[in-house]
Every structure is written in C-alpha cells, then in structure tokens.
Amino acid sequence: MPRANRSYLEGYRECRESLQELSRGVQRNVGKRALQATAQTAVRVLKREAPVSADPYNKTPGSLRDSVNEGKSRSERGRPRHAIFIDDVAAAPVEFGTSRMEARPWVRAAIDAARPVLARVMGRALKEEVDKAAQRAARKAARAKG
C-alpha cells in the first residue's frame, strides 16, 4: 500500500495543542486560512514554471500560465480543502501529451520542487492564524468576565 509522502513541520504538536483549545468552527477557519496562504504560494510557483509557447502562430502565448488560479475554500468531510485550477484548454495535453504531441510535464515537477517552501509557508501561516485566534478568544473571554 503506498504511503503518503511526508514533509516535516516543527512545532506542529504545540500548534495543535493550542488549536484544540479553540472551538471547532475557529479550528476550521484557521485551517482554511493557512491552506489559502499555501495555495497562493503554489499558484505563484506554478505561474513561474508554466511553459510559454514560442510558436509564432500561437495568438495567446502565456494563456496556460495566466489560467493558473486558486479556487474557493470549501470543506470536505469536515476538513478544509483549497483547490488550484489550471483551466486552459492546453493544460491536459501539455501535461500528459496526446497521440500528436509529446508530454511536457511541469505541474508535478514544480510542486515537488517547491514542497519545502510550501511546508514552511503552511507552518508559518498556521502559527500566525492560531496565535490570532487564541488572542481573539482571550479578548472575548476577558470582555465576558468584565
């Protein structure tokens, strides 16, 4: 059975402990915002690595790069999910090739090379969001007492 690929995040246990002191709704929002920050970085990486056609007959060079965008955040089985779309008509043929065109895979290569960066962005965003949520919760508790 293939195992999930691993990235290493330090301080995750402490972050998780702080998060578990907050309400479920707040936890989901923290996860959603951290994912969003990571997705935005991934979009920048993909735009940078996207191949741009040098064909002089191509009337829309750069359309593949320009089509890379983040989708909306949503929840799936209680877990936040953030998608990245590449919806240019050339996306699948370039990535996977066709019977008339050899594949020029770039999406997976770009994301794999950027994994350490994406892990750092995720870790930093999680910490920031957990800290902000904990401060808001503390202020709210203080107002309720006072």
Interacting residues with another protein (CB under 8 A): 1-5, 92, 96, 98-100, 102-103, 105, 108-109, 112-113
CA atoms within 13 A on the CB side of 70: 17
Of 35 and 114, the one with the shorter C-beta distance to another protein is: 114
Do 141 and 27 contact (CB within 8 A), yes or no?
A: no
The DSSP string of 37-91 is HHHHHHHHHHHHHS-----TT-SSTTHHHHTEEEEEEEEETTEEEEEEEE--TTH
Least distance CB 101 / another protein (angstroms)? 11
Least distance CB 137 / another protein (angstroms)? 36
Of 113 and 138, the one with the shorter C-beta distance to another protein is: 113
Q: Give Cβ neighbours of residue 104 (< 8 Å, ≥ 6 apart).
A: 51, 94, 95, 97
Least distance CB 113 / another protein (angstroms)? 7
Of 108 and 143, the one with the shorter C-beta distance to another protein is: 108
Of 49 and 128, the one with the shorter C-beta distance to another protein is: 49
Least distance CB 108 / another protein (angstroms)? 5
Q: Which two tokens stand for residue 57?
A: 């007959």
